[in-house]
């Protein structure tokens, strides 16, 4: 680091320090700067009682559902553009974007094949969709699209899976798919193996919900403490969002493919002679 | 807060489910399947190329082995042919030598025979001449001086011998 860089770093540090100090002095340490109670925000993040959004004027829903629809719409547009304009121009030696798409598909396909070698085609497609949904859905909250609630306030759209209903949907759907796979592949044995893991839908649902909620709550807490509300929420929020997007997508897809592999695994029957000899 | 824990709303869960099913269908039909098909086709094409290359390599190795085998046989055959040619040449040389030797013997015998015949002829002629000379000498002796006849006989004989 030369002299100029040192001076520049010192100036930046001094500016940041002065800004934080000014914030502390001007706003006061014990006041919240948002006119809304942190307890209300956190309670609503868990229970979704306060802020509702009208769905086409038909019913009032949690903002997470609106986020889910928006994410699906974004995926639809993206997939259509890729299908119409990109995939027909695929080359034998791929370019960067083609490489990215192929890597995504291959990663989930190989994960399914590795964890569930008996039956991997459907679960490969499922974890591709689930992983993409969780990852993009979680990153979606970074954009902070505003939506008007029924109470007239404006809120930023959260991640779809920070809504308990979305998380329960993903957990239960994954469990149902695992169960159907087990029944199709192994009949009653597969059903029994799935039932044995009866806590799976609850654990999956609450893992997703808890992970995403914790990120949101920590960010809210940091944001509501005035002294920490300058710059730090951005860092914390982005960090939590990015980490949760990748980690939760990886965890759910790995768990889904592993359990699917377990229940679809063929039971190896012992030969009768060996049994008799053992007896 | 109503009686449902965490305010779970079945209607919204179903809406989330519907949303995800639509998303799954979109991603499967528009992205996952086409990309996977493309990758599978490319993999199959590369596999086909690999198989063709392996088959060509196998064929080349077979041909090489056959050629080496043929080459080894060819060497042996060449050695055999060379030996046969040497044998034939030797036989022919021997035959020519024998033939030449026989011809030479024949020629020699013929020459000897001719020489013998020539000698006999010369001897016969010489005998005849001697006889004639003797006859002439006798005639001369009869008709001239004996010493002169004898001298002329000797001179004549010496002249013949030279």
Rounded Cα distance, B63 and A278, in Å: 55
Rounded Cα distance, A108 and A256, in Å: 11
* Total domain count, chain B: 1
Q: State the pLDDT at residue B133.
A: 82
Give the domain extent around B68: 9-161
Reported residue count of chain A is: 279
Q: State the pLDDT at residue B87.
A: 93
| Interface with chain A: mutation pick from B11, B14, B23, highest number of A CBs within 10 Å | B23
Residue B20 and residue A170: Cβ atoms within 8 Å? yes
Closest A-chain CA to B32? A105
Domain ranges of chain A: 32-266
Rounded Cα distance, A228 and A201, in Å: 37
User: Looking at beta carbons, which pairs linking A24-32 to residues 24 or more positions away fall under 8 Å?
Assistant: A24/A226, A24/A227, A27/A226, A28/A226, A29/A226, A29/A227, A31/A226, A32/A224, A32/A226
Does residue B1 form part of some domain? no
- Tell me how far CA of residue A172 lies from CA of A149, A206, A208, B33, B106, in angstroms: 28, 11, 12, 25, 124
Q: Using an 8 Å Cβ cutoff, are B29 and A82 in contact? A: no
As a whole number of Å, the CA-based R_g of chain B is 62
Assembly ipTM: 0.79
Q: Which of A42-51, B36-45, B61-70 has the lowest mean pLDDT?
A: A42-51
Answer yes or no: is pLDDT of A30 > 70.
no
| Residue scoring higher pLDDT (A23 or B116) | B116
DSSP character string of A141-163: GGG--EEE-TTS-EEE---GGGS
Max avg pLDDT among A76-80, A200-204, B138-142:
A76-80
Answer yes or no: is pLDDT of A276 > 70.
no
* Chain A interface with B: residues with Cβ < 8 Å: 46-49, 55, 59, 61-62, 65, 68-69, 71-72, 75-76, 79-80, 82-83, 87, 90, 92, 101-102, 105-106, 109, 124-126, 128-130, 132-133, 160, 163-166, 168-170, 172-173
Which residues in chain A have Cβ-Cβ distances shorter than 8 Å to B47?
A: none
Q: Is B12 on the interface with A (CB under 8 A)?
A: yes
Does residue B3 form part of some domain? no
Closest A-chain CA to B27? A129
- Tell me how far CA of residue B85 lies from CA of A117, B78, B80, B89, in angstroms: 71, 10, 9, 6
Max avg pLDDT among A21-30, A51-60, A267-276:
A51-60
Q: How many CB atoms are located within 10 Å of the residue A47 CB?
A: 14
Closest B-chain CA to A80? B30
Does residue B97 form part of some domain? yes
Rounded Cα distance, B33 and B23, in Å: 14
Residue B16 and residue A65: Cβ atoms within 8 Å? yes
Phi-psi region of A77 (alpha: psi -120 to 50; beta: other; left: phi over 0): alpha
| Cα B129 off chain centre by | 70
Which residues in chain B have Cβ-Cβ distances shorter than 8 Å to A133?
A: 20, 23
Instruction: Work out the average pLDDT over A27-41.
Output: 58
Write down the number of H helices and E strands in chain A: 10, 4
Does residue B24 form part of some domain? yes
Phi and psi angles of residue A11, each rounded to the nearest 5 degrees, phi first: -65, -45
**CB-facing half-sphere around the CA of A135: CA atoms within 13 A:** 14
Q: State the pLDDT at residue A32.
A: 46
Among partner residues B17, B26, B45, which is closest to A79 by beta-carbon distance? B26
Instruction: Work out the average pLDDT over B127-132.
Output: 84
User: Looking at beta carbons, which pairs linking B86-94 to residues 24 or more positions away fall under 8 Å?
Assistant: none
Q: Kindly report the nearest CA distance between residue B80 and chain A, in angstroms.
A: 58
Among partner residues B20, B34, B35, which is closest to A169 by beta-carbon distance? B20
Which residues in chain B have Cβ-Cβ distances shorter than 8 Å to A75?
A: 23, 26-27
Does residue B2 form part of some domain? no
Which residues in chain B have Cβ-Cβ distances shorter than 8 Å to A173?
A: 17, 20
Does residue B140 form part of some domain? yes
pLDDT tens column, A211-223: 877 777 777 777 7
Residue A47 and residue B13: Cβ atoms within 8 Å? no
Does residue B57 form part of some domain? yes
Phi and psi angles of residue A92, each rounded to the nearest 5 degrees, phi first: -65, -45
**Tokens standing for residue A175:** 């469990």
- Tell me how far CA of residue B109 lies from CA of A31, A98, B58, B98, B117, in angstroms: 154, 107, 74, 16, 12
Q: Using an 8 Å Cβ cutoff, are A160 and A71 in contact? A: yes
| Residue scoring higher pLDDT (B114 or A268) | B114
Pair type for strands A53-55 and A59-61: antiparallel
């Amino acid at each position: 680091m030369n002299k100029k860089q040192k001076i520049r770093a010192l100036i930046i540090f001094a500016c940041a320090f002065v800004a934080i100090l000014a914030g502390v002095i001007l706003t006061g340490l014990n006041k919240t700067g948002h006119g809304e109670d942190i307890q209300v925000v956190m309670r609503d993040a868990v229970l979704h009682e306060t802020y509702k959004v009208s769905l086409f004027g038909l019913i009032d829903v949690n903002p997470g559902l609106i986020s889910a629809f928006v994410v699906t719409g974004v995926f639809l547009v993206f997939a259509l553009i890729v299908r119409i304009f990109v995939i027909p121009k695929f080359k034998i030696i791929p370019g960067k974007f083609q490489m990215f798409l192929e890597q995504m598909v291959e990663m989930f396909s190989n994960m399914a094949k590795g964890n569930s070698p008996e039956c991997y085609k459907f679960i490969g497609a499922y974890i591709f969709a689930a992983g993409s949904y969780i990852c993009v859905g979680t990153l979606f909250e970074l954009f902070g699209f505003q939506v008007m609630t029924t109470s007239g306030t404006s809120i930023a759209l959260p991640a779809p899976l920070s809504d308990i209903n979305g998380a329960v949907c993903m957990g239960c759907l994954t469990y149902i798919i695992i169960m159907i796979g087990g029944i199709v592949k192994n009949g009653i044995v597969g059903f029994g193996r799935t039932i044995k893991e009866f806590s799976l839908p609850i654990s999956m649902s609450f893992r997703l919900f808890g992970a995403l909620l914790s990120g949101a709550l920590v960010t809210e807490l940091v944001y509501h403490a005035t002294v920490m509300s300058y710059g730090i929420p951005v860092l914390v929020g982005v960090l939590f969002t990015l980490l949760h997007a990748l980690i939760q997508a990886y965890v759910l897809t790995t768990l889904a493919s592993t359990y699917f592999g377990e229940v679809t695994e063929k039971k190896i029957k012992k030969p009768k002679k060996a049994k008799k000899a053992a007896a | 807060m109503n009686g449902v824990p965490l305010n779970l709303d079945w209607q919204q869960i179903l809406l989330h489910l519907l949303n995800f099913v639509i998303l799954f269908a979109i991603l499967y039909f528009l992205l996952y399947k086409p990309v996977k098909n493309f990758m599978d086709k490319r993999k199959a094409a590369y596999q086909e190329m690999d198989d063709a290359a392996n088959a060509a390599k196998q064929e080349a190795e077979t041909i090489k082995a056959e050629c080496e085998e043929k080459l080894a046989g060819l060497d042996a055959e060449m050695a055999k042919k060379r030996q046969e040619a040497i044998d034939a040449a030797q036989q022919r040389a021997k035959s020519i030598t024998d033939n030449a030797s026989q011809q030479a013997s024949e020629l020699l015998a013929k020459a000897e025979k001719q020489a013998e015949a020539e000698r006999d002829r010369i001897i016969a002629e010489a005998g005849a001449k001697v006889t004639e000379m003797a006859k002439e000498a006798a005639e001369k002796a009869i008709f001239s001086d004996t010493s002169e006849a004898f001298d002329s006989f000797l001179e004549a004989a010496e002249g013949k011998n030279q």
